[in-house]
Amino acid sequence: MDFDWSEPTEARYQEIVAFARTALNDDVVSRDREGRFSRDFWDACGRFGVQSMAVPARYAPDFEEVDFLTAIRAMEGLGYGCEDTGLTFALSAHMWTVTLPIVRFGSEEQKQRFLPRLADGSWIGAHAVTETEAGSDAFAMKTTAERRDGGYVLSGEKRLVTLAPIADLALVFATTDPSLGQWGITAFLVERETPGLETSPVREKMGLRTVPLGEVQLRDCFVPDSNRLGKEGAGAAIAHHSLVIERCSILASQLGAMQRQLDKTIEYAKTRRQFGRPIGKFQSVANRIVDMRLRLESARLLLYKAAWLVTQGKPATLESALLKLHVSESFVSSSLDAIRTFGGNGYLTEWGIERDLRDAVGGILYAGTSDIQRSVVARLLGL
């Protein structure tokens, strides 16, 4: 076993940390307060080559192609350098739940049409699965896709969709035959200007406030055959594939955020003095920080293993569920520990510590709640 990263991977990590620190951190507190997405920062990421990391070089010739492990390590660096977890979450959702499915399952024509614009950030993608009656039970979806000459007519409504209010392209899942259950689900690439597609205003939410989230309405929305992703009935397989990748890759930037949070907490515990000593010298404070480090370290090992399995083409359903469960729950626990360590300052918005907790809670819900991850693992253990 070799736990060292290659030189190019480590160089990419250092570059992206430096980029994120200098280019993406202005106004985070006020953007969070106002729930404001920064298109400028999104575009800066596009120019730097963040979004293109999900795309092979032949569809993004202006950018350097990187392997999946390098992309994961780079996303970790992005999360470390960028204090706006909403932005890093938005980038991950765009890259791994919209761009990557097109890379894996798109026709050559679809790849040429969509990937260059998704890679340079000029287009924003949204992944639309969830519905009112189909949350954890995603494949109970009611959105229908009826066959018509040369395409399908989509009808239904998706909710809680990251980036929906500003997306140029929505990857929408709908059923062509409800009696077939998950085998009737098909994926469609629906462009913003398609008649019958509408999106809601931005929904206000607890955390990840800098990324807009909302509904996608489809009213007799005609989508040509050329915009069907994969075969009819392949939607569940496509969604499952992106879930495994998403569980690895979305959480990479969270891991970086946890490292940043730990560094800040250690620094504070060394400098804040009470009873004549740095608070880090009190065992109960130190133990909390040790627990933060333990969570981070174990989460990191799970991430790298799951990402490695993906690169080897090996099954990673169990590992990615364990990873999703552990990283997301760890981020919540460590965010609380950071607030406890910062005391009253941790509760003040201006210190940027409480924001992590609000952002972290999103992680235990999206891409399958913690209960669902546990049930995936239990099933794979034969229970």
Q: Which residue is nearest to ligand FAD (CB)?
A: 135
Contact predicate 354/348, CB 8 Å: yes
One-letter amino acid for residue 265 of the chain: T
Could you say which of 76, 215, 246, 319 is catalytic?
A: 246
**375 is a site residue for ligand FAD (CB under 6 A):** yes
Q: Is 379 in the site for ligand FAD (CB under 6 A)?
A: no
Cα separation, 172 vs 44, in Å, equals 27
Find the binder of ligand FAD among 121, 176, 362, 376 (CB under 6 A): 362
| Least distance between ligand FAD and beta carbon 368 (Å) | 6
- Write out the binding residues for ligand FAD, residues 116-135 only, by CB under 6 A: 127-130, 135
- Per DSSP, the three-state class of 26 is coil
Nearest 5°: phi and psi at 216? Answer: -125, 120
Alpha-carbon dihedral 323, 163, 70, 300, rounded to 10 degrees: -20
Task: Answer yes or no whether residue 161 interacts with ligand FAD by CB under 6 A.
Answer: yes
* Identity of residue 109: E
10 is catalytic: no
Position 225 contacts ligand FAD (CB under 6 A): no
The smaller minimum CB distance to ligand FAD, of residues 300 and 374, is found at 374
Instruction: Tell me how far, at minimum, the Cβ of 14 lies from ligand FAD, in Å.
Output: 30
Binding track, positions 50-89, relative to ligand FAD; x by CB under 6 A = ----------------------------------------
Q: By CB under 6 A, is residue 92 in contact with ligand FAD?
A: no
Give first-to-last CA distance, the chain, whole Å.
32
**54 and 130 in contact (C-beta within 8 Å)?**
no
Handedness of CA 136, 129, 354, 341 (dihedral sign): positive
Query: Residue 154 is which amino acid?
Result: L
With respect to ligand FAD, which residue has the nearer C-beta, 136 or 271? 136
**Using CB under 6 A, which of 75, 93, 124, 236 touches ligand FAD?**
93
Count residues near ligand FAD (CB under 6 A). 20
Structure tokens of 224?
């040509």
State how far the Cα of 200 lies from the Cα of 159, in Å rounded to an integer.
9
Which spans of this chain sit near ligand FAD (rule: CB under 6 A)? Answer: 93, 127-130, 135-136, 160-162, 208, 213, 362, 365-366, 368-369, 371-372, 375
